[in-house]
Amino acid sequence: MSRESLVVDGTAKTCKGVIAGLERGMSDLAPGDVVLAIVDDIPTRVDVYAWAQRKSHRVLEERRRGSGFLFYIAKGVAGSQPRSEEMYGDPVRVEGERAETTLHSEAPR
């Protein structure tokens, strides 16, 4: 059984299309529910991180899949600010062909 409540497949979509899909999907979820977002390029990866931070959602994990990325994102509480450890010291694990660690305060590469 998977842990996500919703899957947003952003492959072959623009950054704007992925973010719109995440917005629509998150609107029906309760705080703490998890969305799996699938993206296939670096610019969209950067936009997903920025969107999650701006909306107070939390990127729980990121995995490399081929030339793309899988994001597990927990819905935040509207109007809340991320805790400092979520922004500055809680590393996101990246698995795949080229593993790396990204801190929430860093812009994704």
pLDDT, greater one: 84 or 15: 15
User: Within a 10 A sphere around the Cβ of 34, how many other Cβ atoms?
Assistant: 19
74 in Cβ contact with 60 (< 8 Å): yes
Instruction: Give pTM, 2 decimals.
Output: 0.69
* Structural domains present in the chain: 6-102 (3.30.110.40)
Give the tens place of pLDDT for each residue, 35-92: 999 999 999 999 999 999 999 999 999 999 988 999 999 999 765 554 434 443 344 4
